[in-house]
């Protein structure tokens, strides 16, 4: 991944959600931590273009997000509540939905749906109703829908929120094994404890950009 923030900031009227930020993001795993309301989700939404900067620019893999009509197709986003992300009632239909919108052939869609479910050993979810899934199953279903479209960058917003220990471990393993670049926003400090680069946000500013141990120490100081 190659993401450039060039004095990119976001204000909602008088409220500054993110102060202008200049930063280059490359590499495989980036953790993002900080107190509630510190600007983490705003930072992530700038990367996939759901939020456009009110000052400066965000360049993702060479493209200015402001030029993209809605979202940046190279960035997959798993929201805090994956149940809100799954649009169609049946899991396999939901995975196919994003592929149909991209105009892929029926055969290609079927192959991709099967392929992505097999990747997570989740074939049994194909015909399940999304609203009947457990929290962990929902995360996997949402991952399948997003990854089927082949984004090079994945953003996960609090992927272990509300998961029991077993499902949390499953999601941790999945994240560790993803070949895609991943940006992980979390309050689960253990989840990002092995990351070489962790960004700490505080009051709309980047307060630290360091390996996990140092970044977590800085976050603990902020929170104290």
Ligand X SMILES: Nc1ncnc2c1ncn2[C@@H]1O[C@H](COP(=O)(O)OP(=O)(O)OP(=O)(O)O)[C@@H](O)[C@H]1O
For ligand X, which is the closer residue by CB, 11 or 122? Answer: 11
For ligand X, which is the closer residue by CB, 36 or 105? Answer: 36
Confirm whether residue 76 is marked as ligand binding. Answer: no
Confirm whether residue 41 is marked as ligand binding. Answer: yes
CA distance 193 to 213: 7
184 CB-side CA count, 13 A: 31
**Contact predicate 198/210, CB 8 Å:** yes
For ligand X, which is the closer residue by CB, 39 or 151? Answer: 39
If one asks whether residue 15 binds ligand X (CB under 6 A), the answer comes out as yes
> What is residue 11's DSSP assignment?
E
Binders of ligand X among residues 36 to 75 (CB under 6 A) are 36-42
Which of 12, 169, 214, 223 is in the footprint of ligand X by CB under 6 A? 12
CA distance 103 to 105: 7
Confirm whether residue 103 is marked as ligand binding. Answer: no
- Tokens 């990367």 appear where? 47
Q: Which secondary-structure segment (H or E) carries 56?
A: strand 55-60
The least distance separating ligand X from the CB of residue 107, rounded to whole angstroms, comes to 40
Residues that bind ligand X (CB under 6 A): 12, 15, 17, 34, 36-42
């Amino acid at each position: 991944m190659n993401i450039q923030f060039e004095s990119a900031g976001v204000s909602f009227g008088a409220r500054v959600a993110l102060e202008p930020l200049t930063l280059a993001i490359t590499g495989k795993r980036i953790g993002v931590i900080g107190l509630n309301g510190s600007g983490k989700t705003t930072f992530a939404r700038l990367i996939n273009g759901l939020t456009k900067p009110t000052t400066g620019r965000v360049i993702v893999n060479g493209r200015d997000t402001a030029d993209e009509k809605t979202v940046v197709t190279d960035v997959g986003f798993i929201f805090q509540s994956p149940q809100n992300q799954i649009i169609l009632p049946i899991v396999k239909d939901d995975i196919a939905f994003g592929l149909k919108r991209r105009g892929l052939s029926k055969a290609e869609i079927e192959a991709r749906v099967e392929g992505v479910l097999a990747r997570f050993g989740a074939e049994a979810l194909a015909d399940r109703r999304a609203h009947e899934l457990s929290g962990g199953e929902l995360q996997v279903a949402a991952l399948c829908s997003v990854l089927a479209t082949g984004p090079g960058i994945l953003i996960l917003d609090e992927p272990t929120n509300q998961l029991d220990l077993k499902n949390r471990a499953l999601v941790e393993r999945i994240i560790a094994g993803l070949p895609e670049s991943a940006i992980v926003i979390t309050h689960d400090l253990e989840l990002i404890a092995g990351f070489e680069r962790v960004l700490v946000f505080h009051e709309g500013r980047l307060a630290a950009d360091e390996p996990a141990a140092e970044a977590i120490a800085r976050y603990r100081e902020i929170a104290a």
